[in-house]
Amino acid sequence: MIQLILSSQFLFGVLRLTTPIIFATLSCLIAKKAGVRNITIEGTMLCSALGGVAVSAWTQNVWMGLLAGMAVGVGVGLFLGYFHIIMDTDIWLTGIAINQFANGLTVFVMFLITGDKGSTSSLPSLTIPNVHLPLIEKIPIIGQIVSGQSLLTYLAVVLLLVIYILLYKTPLGLRIRAVGEYALAAESVGENADRIKLIALGISGLCASFGGMFMSMSYSSRFARDMVAGRGFIGIAAESMGGGRPMAAAAAALFFGVADSLANILQSFSIPSELLMAIPYLATIVGLVVYSAKKQKDEQRCIQQNIRNETDDKS
């Protein structure tokens, strides 16, 4: 088993399975930085997954499909923003309702297009190409792991950097963080908090859209109902564990990718598959609890330290 885990195939699979979770994590991260808990990532991914497949089949151009999926993602993000920010709807209820909406809508639209409620296998949809990296491909082991992944997997890495730079090195990022930290303070210096939140939600939807399209145009070559299977939600958990830091969140996403691949690989052993399928979800709960407990302890220690310092100062 150890051999299997250390094999390049396994690590290749880890990167592959981490990709949608990274996108979901980034999506959650940027919304949270603007002070909005976006739990519609799951639904956004579903909508984009279908949008990408449908338009790529219709235009027979994979890039048009990609663009359409992105537009759908931004649209769902703004839809959430409209209801939460402008119509002042409770964020949890909005999220739950939009996810349900996406569940119904995707099956409905799929039925209109294909006459099938299960999957779009009858559509001649295209897939996003895998990329073989020159030079790196030649390196033993590493080449086998890193090269030949989907274009979107590399995009995930790029997007991680872009989001990091956007948040910490650009004026827009500063605005987003300021609004998320304390919207009233940002408004008091003339910032339009609602507008910034809407922009952040648009970007959040865009990030999620790539995750959805990875599922339907790369991981598999068609759209199927409920195909995202909780990955959007796992991204939310990964973001929580990362504590708002993009790199840490990506590391947490990788952890879930490992759990996912482990579940895949253990199937060749005589472990009941039902229990294996529960691994990523169980890992999410355990990971979240361990992280939260640690954070709580750190905060307590910090407070105690402060009290001690103050009493020292007085004496």
Partner 1 sequence: MNSRQVNEMFQIIKTMLAILVAMVFAFLFIVLISNEPLAALKAFLVGPFSSMRRFGNLIEFFIPVCFTALGACIIFSIGQCSVIGEGAVFFGGLIAAWISIKMGTGGMAVQLAALLGAALVCGLIAMIPMHLKLKYNADLFVDSLMLNYVLLYMGTFILNYSIRDSEIGMTASYALPEGSTLPVLVQKTQITTALLLAVAAVILVVIFMEKTSVGYQMRMVGLNEKFARYSGMSVGKLCMLSAFLGGLLSGAGGAVEILGRYERFQWLGLPGFGWDGILIATIAGFKARNVPIAALFIAYIRTGADIMNRTCDVPSELIIAIQSLLILMIASRGFLSKLHQRLIVQHVKSNAAESEV
Residue of 23, 214, 233, 255 that binds partner 1 (CB under 8 A) = 233
User: 155 with 207: CB under 8 angstroms?
Assistant: no
Which residue stretch of 16-24, 118-126, 141-149, 292-300 sits at the interface with partner 1 (rule: CB under 8 A)? Answer: 292-300
Q: Is 184 in the site for partner 1 (CB under 8 A)?
A: no
Q: Is 87 in the site for partner 1 (CB under 8 A)?
A: yes
Q: Is 281 in the site for partner 1 (CB under 8 A)?
A: yes
- Could you say which residues in the range 110-169 bind partner 1, by CB under 8 A? 111-112, 117
- Residue 95 and residue 198: Cα distance in Å, rounded? 15
In the bound state with partner 1, the residue whose beta carbon lies nearer, of 46 and 128, is 46
Report in angstroms how near the CB of residue 73 gets to partner 1 at its nearest.
18
State residue 121 phi and psi, 5-degree precision: -65, -15
- Residue 241 and residue 171: Cα distance in Å, rounded? 26
In the bound state with partner 1, the residue whose beta carbon lies nearer, of 172 and 278, is 278
User: 77 with 44: CB under 8 angstroms?
Assistant: yes
Q: What residues contact 188, with CB distance under 8 A and at least 6 apart?
A: none
Vertex 197: Cα angle to 195 and 202 (nearest 5): 95
User: 79 with 98: CB under 8 angstroms?
Assistant: yes
Report in angstroms how near the CB of residue 25 gets to partner 1 at its nearest.
12
In the bound state with partner 1, the residue whose beta carbon lies nearer, of 11 and 256, is 256
Sketch the per residue contact string, 250 through 279, with partner 1: x for CB under 8 A, - otherwise.
----------------------x-xx-xx-
